[in-house]
Homo-oligomer: A and B are copies of this chain.
């Protein structure tokens, strides 16, 4: 995936934007959300995939690796046949939850306004 780092000379490697950029890609937040609300302690690759019908296996795989790199999930490999890999949220991910919840609530309060604002400017010719 590469997951390149956001860089500029004013805030070299600005942690805020770098952390957020990697969390706010297409799938990462959804993976965290699904792991969280599953109630289970951990989930397997295919379990996650079933909860996300539209994600490709490749993107699920890469998203999980990135989340692991950043310490939001753990990845436990069982050397069995067929292979088994289990994913679980870390404390770091759980500590993010209250903030994500407040963002979620803000989004719900503003989503209609924002989406209709977007249409105003986008659909000049549509």
Contact = CB atoms under 8 A, between A and B. Distances in A.
A101 to B, nearest CB: 10
Interface of A: 6-11, 13-17, 19-21, 23-26, 29-30, 51-55, 68-71, 92, 95-96, 99-100, 102-104, 106-108, 110-111, 113-115, 117-118, 121-122
Nearest to A68: B121
30 contacts: A6-B26, A7-B54, A8-B55, A9-B53, A9-B54, A10-B30, A10-B52, A11-B30, A13-B115, A15-B107, A15-B114, A16-B29, A16-B104, A16-B107, A16-B108, A17-B30, A19-B114, A20-B103, A21-B24, A23-B24, A68-B121, A70-B117, A71-B113, A71-B114, A95-B106, A95-B110, A96-B106, A99-B99, A99-B102, A103-B103
